[in-house]
Amino acid sequence: MTAGVSLAVLLLILGSSIAVGAGIALVGLVLNQLYSPMPLTRMMGELAWSTTSNFILTAIPFYIMFGEILLRSGIAERMYNAMTQWLSWLPGGLMHSNVGSCALFGSVSGSSVATAATIGVVAMGEIERHQYNERLFLGTLAAGGTLGILIPPSINMIIYGVMTDTSIPKLYLAGFLPGFVLTVLFSLTVLIACLWKPAWGGRKIETSWAERWRTLPDLLPPLVLLLIVVGAIFFGLATATESAAVGILGALAITAWRRRLTFSMLREVCEGTVRTTAMVVAILVAAFFLNVVIQTIGLTQQLGKLIAAYQLSPVEVLSAVILLYLVLGTFMEELSMMISTIPITTPLILQAGYDPVWFGVLLVLLIQTAMISPPFGINLFVIHGIRARGMLADVEIGSAPFVIALLVMIALICFFPGIVMWLPQAVG
Amino acid sequence: MKRLQAFAEAISRGGAIVGGAMLLVAAITICVDIFLRYAFSLTVGGADDLSGYALAISSAWGFSAALLTRSHIRIDTVYVRVKNRAARAALDLLSVAAFALFAGLLVWHGWGVFQLSYASNSHSQSAIEMPLAIPQGIWFAGLAFFLGVALLLLGRALLACARRDLDELFRLIGSKSAAAEAREEVVAVERAMEAERRE
């Protein structure tokens, strides 16, 4: 009963387009009013302070700032050209460079929107020049961009880690292999499509070994940053927050080296960082409050009992959760979807005996799927926004094969959890 | 009232820039901390506290900036299908009213947090022993400003409503479509790339 009412209130309030942060707080208030023996709002002050002054969460604005600087550092264009030299001999040409560049940029960026936007802007001019199948080309950018949150660092993994008390370094380690496999799956999708319809692959691009070696150093800045930011965490030299701070310094150094470091650029970076951070933090503070309310009124236990009463097996619980996200993902904004559902779904999954690290990666894959599934998929909007003409449907159709690739990936980690768990277990 | 909003916008923009600068300084402090730790086995401590304060303060001050630029996410699946302008305006008013309520709660209970630290003269547990009332005071001021901005927007929107000037209302508090949001992201990237090409 409580569960039904809670879900109804959540959907009603968020559905009425109340801003998500305020809306989640409102859901907490309503549930508190209805079911809690004591007024929990009193905790809100302490909760707001302790959440936002939490050192681990400082990683979020740091990664956002890191992304804002990278965007203005001018590394993306050169990196893309180098990728073209190395990957465009495959059937499907530049579309493989799109996927590869997204994967490489995603391995320094913690955000999918930033990855899609950055690589999208660089690549967009090439569609007509080389006569690619436009829809598939757009799809590679929207889908490739989602790699930003799977390949560490990842803002979404940090949020999941903090909300569920899961080790962030382990989550990062767990994201690596799936990130690599998914990149290959995306490329394979392009390859199959272009072997089936060779005309989609566009005109061949001139490459030479001399040019390949000449552009190779352009791949270095992102690789060095990757090594600093992710390597420091893996070797236990620094925490996720610390390594993000080092990343900021590294990105600033590259920007200065490219002579792009100015005061007005820094001001833009600061303003953009704070706006995005505040938006995320507003939702987080409200979600932490909702979390307390949910625990106090015993919602999770109730759901647990419900599952026991219906004798649902772990696999059935998991399937239900996956289905829930696939449905929610079609119409809900992805970040809000993740934060507002974690307090409910994670305890259920853990009760069913699944590993929190494994579920974290599964959740990220589900969010990626949501990002490119219509009608609401943020990456679809980003790529459509860059193209600035034609119909959104072109991007949606072009992304469809990659939704299938993502579903294959989800099935893969469900049947072979080792893909996720091997690396975190091997390292410790 | 228009001037009041322009004033509020200037303050919130300043707050956002200062908040971002604090985060930048915090990041650099952490780097120095790490360097000293590995180069000279020195632990200065306090960098983690400071960056926590930077996040708390910059997000408290950023709430209002995000509200004024309409950057807070709204699920607009239903909203965009509501064609009736009055109904849309009602949804917009509801959203900003919910924000005012949320901000009110944060201010009300945030004051308690600040007041307690001030009265009991609490200090942070790290090496720097920062009196907590200082960062919490700046944090609380940000929350109070956020409440002020939410009420100002609510007030202006209600006035516009009373004048039946719905266009004005949408300009103030209407939902930015996700597509428009994405477009802004793209414009930022494109501007950065153009700067690159000019060189």
Length reported for chain A? 428
Q: Which residues of chain A have a CB within 8 Å of the CB of B134?
A: none
* Three-class secondary structure of residue A54 per DSSP: coil
What's the confidence (pLDDT) of residue B127? Answer: 66
pTM: 0.86
DSSP A408-422: HHHHHHHH-THHHHH
- Nearest chain B residue (CA) to A280: B72
Q: Does B78 touch chain A (CB under 8 A)?
A: yes
- Nearest chain B residue (CA) to A374: B77
What's the confidence (pLDDT) of residue B196? Answer: 60
Question: A26 and A284 in contact (C-beta within 8 Å)?
Answer: no
Residue A154 φ then ψ, to 5°:
-150, 120
What's the confidence (pLDDT) of residue B172? Answer: 82
What's the confidence (pLDDT) of residue A122? Answer: 85
Q: Which residues of chain A have a CB within 8 Å of the CB of B199?
A: 259
Of B65, B102, B178, the CB nearest to A274: B65
Question: Percentage helix, strand, coil, to 5, in chain A?
Answer: 80, 0, 20
Query: How many C-beta atoms surround the C-beta of residue A404 within 10 A?
Result: 13
Of A61, A72, A121, the CB nearest to B58: A61
C-alpha A389: how far from chain center: 26
What's the confidence (pLDDT) of residue B27? Answer: 92
Look at residue A152 and tell me whether its pLDDT is greater than 70: yes
pLDDT digits (tens, 9 = 90+) for A166-223: 988 899 889 999 999 999 999 999 999 988 888 887 777 777 888 888 888 888 888 8
Cβ distance B179 to A276 less than 8 Å, yes or no, reads: no
The CA distance from A120 to A77, in Å, is: 11
What's the confidence (pLDDT) of residue A298? Answer: 79
What's the confidence (pLDDT) of residue A96? Answer: 92
pLDDT band at A64 (very low <50, low <70, confident <90, very high): confident
pLDDT band at A238 (very low <50, low <70, confident <90, very high): confident
The CA distance from B23 to A270, in Å, is: 8
* Structure ipTM: 0.88
Q: What is the mean pLDDT of each run of 10 residues along chain B (199 residues)?
A: 83 90 92 85 77 90 87 77 85 90 90 84 74 87 92 90 85 76 75 65
- Nearest chain A residue (CA) to B117: A46
What's the confidence (pLDDT) of residue A106? Answer: 86
Q: Which residues in chain B (94-133) have CB-CB distances under 8 A to chain A?
A: 94-95, 98-99, 101-102, 105-106, 108-113
DSSP chain B: -HHHHHHHHHHHHHHHHHHHHHHHHHHHHHHHHHHHHHHH------HHHHHHHHHHHHHHHHHHHHHHTT-S-B--TTGGG---HHHHHHHHHHHHHHHHHHHHHHHHHHHHHHHHHHHTT-B-SSTT--BTHHHHHHHHHHHHHHHHHHHHHHHHHHHHHHTT-HHHHHHHHPPPPHHHHHHHHHHHHHHHHHHHHH-
Cβ distance B109 to A118 less than 8 Å, yes or no, reads: no
